[in-house]
A and B are shown apart, each in its own frame.
Chain A
Amino acid sequence: MGELRYEFPDTLDAAVALLAGESGAARVIAGGTDVLVQLRTDTIEPGLMVGINNIPEVRTISAENGGFRFGAAVTGMELVEHAAFAKTWPGVIDAVKLIGSIQIKGRATVGGNFCNASPSADSVPAMFAANAVATIVGAKGRRDVPVEDIATGPGRTSLAKDEILASFFLPKRPPHAGDAYLRFTPRTEMDIAVSGVSVCLALDGGGSCTTARVAIAAVAERVLLVDEAADALIGTPVDDAALEALAVAVRAACRPIDDKRGTKTYRIKVTGVLAKRAARIALARAGER
């Protein structure tokens, strides 16, 4: 193993320049809750670590165009404790709260959760459902992409070597909208999802669903947005028939593996159940606002 170096630049431009200029392997580090474990187990052997926690742009939560922008390196606890954000996006908070312990959430970031690209990353489906857009900065400039385009497979992303995920934008919520995330784990706390489902929906004045987004985790090589599941809800009062159609659509989209935490059959079944329950919670939350 070569010599490891750490840099903690103050600007995104400086961070991008460091990544672009490194001939060997380089890694961005935000909370380090994935990276440090991987370093310790020699899963990765980078020459350069670029810490981004001193860059204000990636560490800030702010209101923007009636919505929210939060930096990729904002920690889980900072999101949970941000009263206005937590009130607007309870489903995103459901998911963030499930990331490890209080200690882990004190460091873990949503940006890191995305870029680690685990199929079972908890905040990812919630951000898919929230219709979030990611701002990515690299040597060629800035680009905005739907968050669905970040992960391409387990541990792989669409970011170039010199690119950094800077922030997420969550659009203004219509009235009567709600979101929810549920996951299944054998243990209540400190466990990895066997299946996870996020539902975000909005209702018209008469209680009919006007828009919906449904995302599923831990049942494919990456988190999936399921349009057919959203279609099962749109135009309905989210009644039992719609929820049954939702479960069918979600199960049809699952392509899980068998592993020590759950069999294929079990994962597919439980994902349908979670989808129905998450939709009911999202519906109740939509009714409150």
Chain B
Amino acid sequence: MAKIHVSATVNGDAVDFLCDPEQTLLDVLRDELEFNGAKEGCGTGDCGACSVTLDGRLVCACLIPGAEVQGKTIETIEGMADGEVLHPLQRKFIEHAALQCGICTPGLLIAARALLERNPDPTETEVRYWLAGNLCRCTGYHKIVEAVLDAAEEMRT
């Protein structure tokens, strides 16, 4: 099957890959580029575990054709910490125990960061609506919302 040659930028680094037409951006990240942070919970846009940003826009990587990211910029969870220094959201998720199994966590962190970039001072309701596309089977969401609000407060000061 004819492979498609694609060049893109992931977490600031230029990457080149060959992908099958059937491969999604999530398949490419996990299987071709070894970025395993984004998870596949459903593959159909329902769970948000595969959340990444594409040219700054929060999207589900499982619904993007790999072939479409030619020339585009992708940010994944692997680029969130600054070396050994965790992003405030990552630190607050740990402090608040906002995760159990952790499958949903990379997607939630990427989605929460996209929220705080647009709205540094969200209400609890705004956080809950923004994160409605990220499902978590373990935590019951409350600690996640607390962690995001706490991180937002720290990032404002």
Residues of A within 8 A of B (CB): 3-6, 8, 29, 31-33, 36-37, 39-41, 49, 51, 53, 75, 77, 100-104, 106-107, 188-190
Q: B78 at the A/B interface (Cβ < 8 Å)?
A: no
Note all chain A residues with C-beta closer than 8 A to B76: none
B65 & A51 in contact (Cβ 8 Å cutoff): yes
Q: B155 at the A/B interface (Cβ < 8 Å)?
A: no
Bitwise, B67-94 to A at CB < 8 A (1) or not (0) is 1101000000000000000000000000
B22 & A8 in contact (Cβ 8 Å cutoff): no
B63 & A29 in contact (Cβ 8 Å cutoff): no
Residues of B within 8 A of A (CB): 1-2, 4, 21-22, 24, 43-46, 48, 51, 54, 57-60, 62-65, 67-68, 70, 111, 114, 129-130, 132-134
Whole-angstrom CA separation of A222 from B107 in the bound complex? 35
Note all chain B residues with C-beta closer than 8 A to A6: 4, 21, 65, 67-68
Q: Which of B2, B45, B111 contacts A3 (CB 8 A)?
A: B2
Which 3 pairs between the two chains have the least Cβ-Cβ distance? A101-B133, A189-B132, A4-B21
Note all chain B residues with C-beta closer than 8 A to A33: 45, 63
Whole-angstrom CA separation of A6 from B130 in the bound complex? 32
Whole-angstrom CA separation of A29 from B68 in the bound complex? 11
Q: Helix, strand, loop or mixed for chain B's interface?
A: mixed
Note all chain B residues with C-beta closer than 8 A to A101: 45, 48, 132-134
Name the residue of chain B whose CB is nearest to the CB of A187. Answer: B132
Name the residue of chain B whose CB is nearest to the CB of A3. Answer: B1
Name the residue of chain B whose CB is nearest to the CB of A48. Answer: B21
Note all chain B residues with C-beta closer than 8 A to A102: 58, 111, 114, 130, 132-133
Note all chain B residues with C-beta closer than 8 A to A8: 67-68, 70
Note all chain B residues with C-beta closer than 8 A to A49: 21, 65
Whole-angstrom CA separation of A246 from B45 in the bound complex? 37
Q: Which of B22, B48, B64 contacts A32 (CB 8 A)?
A: B64
Note all chain A residues with C-beta closer than 8 A to B22: 4, 39
Whole-angstrom CA separation of A283 from B57 in the bound complex? 34
Note all chain B residues with C-beta closer than 8 A to A32: 63-65, 68
Q: Which of B44, B54, B132, B134 contacts A40 (CB 8 A)?
A: B44
Name the residue of chain B whose CB is nearest to the CB of A97. Answer: B129
B45 & A77 in contact (Cβ 8 Å cutoff): no
B5 to chain A, nearest CB (A): 12
Whole-angstrom CA separation of A177 from B139 in the bound complex? 45
Name the residue of chain A whose CB is nearest to the CB of B128. Answer: A189
> Given A5-B21, A6-B67, are A103 and B45 also a contact pair (CB < 8 Å)?
yes
Q: Which of B70, B133, B134 contacts A100 (CB 8 A)?
A: B133
Whole-angstrom CA separation of A5 from B130 in the bound complex? 35
Of the candidates A8, A36, A100, the one having the most CB atoms from chain B within 10 angstroms of its own CB is A36
